[in-house]
Amino acid sequence: MPRNRFTEKLAKVLNSNPFKGFFKLNRLRPPGAVKEDIFMELCIRCARCIVVCPYGSIHRADVYEKLQIGTPYIFADKKACYLCMKCPPVCPTGALDPKLSSPENVRIGIAVINQETCLNYLYYEEEIEGVSKGYAQLCNTCNNVCPFTDEAIYMEKHILPVVTDKCTGCGICVEKCPTTPKSINVYPTGMGVKAQAGFYNRKQNFTGENTTEGTLHGDELIKQKQKINSYGAKPDFEYNLETYESRDEWQEQ
């Protein structure tokens, strides 16, 4: 294979890696996730949140992320969170807040609109300048699919989408956005700050640069996790998904 073709193929593979950086738009924790540094200590990678999700929105972090491997993520540009609220109650450790039951109280992140690529903003710009650049299209997708239409997102002047602080960060608008690249993206809560990203938090704890008050560490944390039964009570709803009862590797010994 010619060197230039190999380089192009390699670049494509590397760029498709969702964990090439510690921070990525639309890479979200499930609803109810506590602060990232505490989440990394509480999550035992039991995958119960993944199993109970009826939309297939939650996935495991893979080998690319090393210390975060096995932890649950939602990639909104592929499949958003539909706020069914079935994952927080089944988390056995509190990494997902079991008390969170109302979709309107979810704060996974905050959606941000790229006005340079949003069809409506381009259309509005053409109307003001009076010069057609070929962008004369109107799109209400983000507003139409938002579970809290006119609250989390509304149309200013009946044309321009505007996100408010009531945005849950579910990412449905991202998934359905018709432009490439996406003109609306979700900035995840708790993962936009380097010190709060899982890998860097672990590094700081290891080197003693930072400590997290109110959480267990070392042997105390291990003992606490050993007491946890990740095969707890079954969810009290119907689902047609593979569960821990139907998977051999999940059976208690």
* Lowest mean pLDDT segment, chosen from 19-33, 125-139, 235-249: 235-249
Please tell me whether residues 100 and 199 are part of one structural domain: yes
pLDDT band, very low/low/confident/very high, at 209 (cuts 50, 70, 90): very low
- Say if CB 119 and CB 200 are below 8 A apart: no
| Mean pLDDT of the 76-88 span | 95
Shared-domain flag, residues 100 and 207: yes
Q: Show which of 162, 188, 214 is a domain's final residue.
A: 188
Which phi and psi angles does 13 have, rounded to 5°? -65, -45
d(CA 3, CA 16): 20
Residue 61 — very low, low, confident or very high, per pLDDT cuts 50/70/90? confident
Q: Which of 182, 231, 214 is nearest to 47 (CA)?
A: 231
**Is 126 found in the same domain as 55?**
no
The predicted structure's pLDDT at residue 234:
47
For the chain, the domain total comes to 2
- Predicted confidence (pLDDT) at residue 20 exceeds the cutoff of 50: no
Q: 23 and 99: one domain?
A: yes
Which of 155, 188, 221 is the endpoint of a domain?
188
For 200, the domain range is 17-105+189-253
Boundary of a domain, candidates 188, 211, 242: 188
Question: How far lies 172's CA from each of 80, 119, 134, in Å?
Answer: 5, 18, 27
Whether residues 194 and 184 share a domain: the answer is no
Residue 5 within a domain: no
CA distances from 207 to 2, 57, 67, 192, 222 (A): 45, 35, 15, 22, 19
244 pLDDT tier (thresholds 50, 70, 90): very low
pLDDT of 230 > 90? The answer is no
42 Cβ neighbours under 8 A, 6+ residues apart: 34, 93, 94, 95, 215
| Res. 12: pLDDT tops 60 | no
Q: Report pLDDT for 174.
A: 95
The arithmetic mean of pLDDT across residues 102-110, rounded, is: 95
